[in-house]
A and B are shown apart, each in its own frame.
Chain A
């Protein structure tokens, strides 16, 4: 399984755009890249998933370069409620899913 590496923590201010980058150097051809958000005492929640190029939904955008060895989750105009831990996963067909340590995002007023 491809291992992922993310920054341990990030700080931001309300209204800013936040970009969290994840490295996955040994991603396999069939692997997808998925991002989850977790609030304290809750299970993670799916944010976005992509295979290549750019994916956008109502919550975030996911940028994946051509070599797919990294990905960037972009959160537009964050608010205090976006303070959470964000996890990047690389997975294939829903078998063994390994979460890394995640990135703890703190949004300040």
Chain B
């Protein structure tokens, strides 16, 4: 079965510090991968998505970046965090078949102080 991992679960960082969130998927190959951010408990904002290694599409201009160094690894980074980067970050992959079902990881709660 497929599993998606995210870490860390929670993170508190000062403004201006760097960020690295990691997401890995097990049990599937060549998945489409996604990073979302959810602020104030509502509305998932799509940040990045990737259809393959090294292929990243950015949806929102900001101080975040994403990389996909391996088929089942997706990393979200920032060189300098802003207060507005606080939120709940979710990684997801999609299963394309009878149903195009998106599976989400457990999420990372980021607080920037």
Give A residues with C-beta under 8 Å from B: 32, 34, 36, 40-46, 49, 85, 87, 91, 93-102, 104
Contacts and interface: CB of A to CB of B under 8 A. Distances in A.
Interface of B: 32, 34, 36, 41-46, 49, 51, 57, 59, 88, 90, 92, 94, 96, 99-107, 109
Given A43-B92, A43-B107, A49 B99 contact: yes
Contacts of B45: 99
A101 B44 CA distance: 7
Contacts of B99: 34, 46, 49
B65 to A, nearest CB: 18
A97 B44 CA distance: 10
Q: For the complex of A and B, list the 3 residue pairs with the smallest distance between their C-beta atoms, beginning with the closest.
A: A43-B104, A99-B44, A94-B94
24 contacts: A34-B101, A41-B107, A42-B107, A43-B104, A43-B105, A44-B44, A44-B102, A46-B102, A49-B99, A49-B100, A87-B44, A94-B96, A94-B102, A95-B32, A96-B46, A96-B49, A97-B34, A97-B49, A98-B46, A99-B36, A99-B44, A99-B46, A102-B43, A104-B42
